[in-house]
Amino acid sequence: MAAAAAARRLPAASLRQHRPLLLRPFASSSGDQQPITVETSVPFTGHKIEPPSRSVETTPSELLTFFRDMSLMRRMEIAADSLYKSKLIRGFCHLYDGQEAVAVGLEASITKKDAIITAYRDHCIYLARGGNLVEAFAELMGRRAGCSKGKGGSMHFYKKESGFFGGHGIVGAQVPLGCGLAFAQKYIKEGTVTFALYGDGAANQGQLFEALNISALWDLPAILICENNHYGMGTAEWRAAKSPAYYKRGDYVPGLKVDGMDVLAVKQACKFAKEYALKNGPLILEMDTYRYHGHSMSDPGSTYRTRDEISGVRQERDPIERVRKLILSNDIASANELKNIEKEVRKEVDDAIAQAKESPMPDPSDLFTNVYVKGFGVEAFGADRKEVKAVLP
């Protein structure tokens, strides 16, 4: 038993090697790819569907990748919090710490040809889709090197070339857009699906049900993921939703309830959902997760919930700690080696911030770019609509 565990353990060299290859398996020597089967923390609960098995197959290198990627995301969000407080990030800023397992587990089960669309809590999904840290921090600080050229800010990260369609500030609006992406995917027949993420607050919106109805009628490969972090701004779910069983809220559309703090459960559910949606049409996944920070930077997050509630989730359900325990109990890496990964991640984030700070702000002339189609001679008027102030390029 001990010998098998030792054989499975990654050699120190390969632990050091793994640079930030987000969501790609670590290059490692023989032995470390031995599959391990892990039970999810809790069983899946199905609505009008037989849930998948609780036994999830993983490998030592996948677990280490999950550990690193979630740690990198956590560190990025903590750093964004400090940059905001020192006024280097302005405007809206919504952090994702606590919810990292959803981004990472989802990405582990799909390809970059599948599409993801989400709301404003988008930094970590962008990283999961292969976005880079410098572009993320530059965007947060409104700099030209940002993934939206510094003109989108925290809520408008995109990476279309790897299937990330934003980054949306209007609560719920991304869900019909996501169903539209799934409509296109049905046409092009490449076996791809769209995951449209929304919150428990957004789950009560009318447009979601309209889009779901059409998606179900037309069997679109649309998977709606409700990230239930139990609050919409300062409103607890029970004050806003008559039925907080979001996985059942599609009525005629099947659903699954998933522990969104367990990255392996998320991976299993998303893999299952993709296969299901390609054959049958839409499905709802409710991810039971938790928001560690307040709603946005203007919300301390502690007036409508108790500190004990927050620390209880951190202690009992934290997604990174869950993977750390799995790595240690399977003797894949030592506690010290995991600490070293965290140190590397911290340095990587600091270096990215330093680089992002070197990027200039957008030129004032960029105010007029990416707004209207070029060359149409669009005229801008003063408030009285009499005098033309400018003709846009």
Q: Which residues bind Mg ion (CB under 5 A)?
A: 199-201, 229, 232
Tokens 């299952």 sit at which residue? 272
241/345 with CB nearer ligand TPP: 241
Stretches 53-61, 79-87, 197-205, 314-322: which one binds ligand TPP (CB under 6 A)? Answer: 197-205
Of residues 71, 174, 229, 268, which one binds ligand TPP by CB under 6 A? Answer: 229
Q: Which residue is nearest to ligand TPP (CB)?
A: 199
Beta strand residue intervals within 30-146, DSSP E: 36-39, 45-47, 55-58, 115-117
Smallest distance, Mg ion to C-beta of residue 281, A: 26
68/121 with CB nearer ligand TPP: 121
**What, of ligand TPP, Mg ion, none, does residue 211 touch, CB below 5 to 8 Å by kind?**
none
300/375 with CB nearer Mg ion: 300
Smallest distance, ligand TPP to C-beta of residue 295, A: 6
How many residues lie near ligand TPP (CB under 6 A)?
15
Q: Decide: is 232 part of the binding site for ligand TPP (CB under 6 A).
A: yes
Q: Decide: is 166 part of the binding site for ligand TPP (CB under 6 A).
A: no
Q: What is the DSSP string of 133-200?
A: HHHHHHHHTT-TTSTTTTSS-TT---BGGGTB-----STTTHHHHHHHHHHHHHHHTSS--EEEEEET
Distances (CA, A) of 132 to 21, 50, 111: 10, 38, 18
64/119 with CB nearer Mg ion: 119
Smallest distance, ligand TPP to C-beta of residue 229, A: 5
287/333 with CB nearer ligand TPP: 287
For 207, how many CA atoms within 13 A lie in the half-sphere containing its CB?
A: 14
Q: What is the DSSP string of 316-381?
A: HH-HHHHHHHHHHHTTSS-HHHHHHHHHHHHHHHHHHHHHHHHSPPPPGGGGGTTTS-TTS--EEE
The two tokens of residue 176 are 């019909």
Distance CA 43, CA 99 (A): 19
Site mask, ligand TPP, residues 93-122, x = CB under 6 A? ----------------------------x-
Other CB atoms within 10 A of residue 275 CB = 13
Q: Decide: is 202 part of the binding site for ligand TPP (CB under 6 A).
A: yes
Amino acid identity for residue 217 in this structure: L
Q: Decide: is 169 part of the binding site for ligand TPP (CB under 6 A).
A: yes
Peptide bond into 163 cis (omega under 30): no
Amino acid identity for residue 170 in this structure: I
Of residues 158, 165, 231, 246, which one binds ligand TPP by CB under 6 A? Answer: 231
Which residues of the chain form contacts with ligand TPP (CB under 6 A)? 121, 169-171, 198-202, 229, 231-233, 291, 295
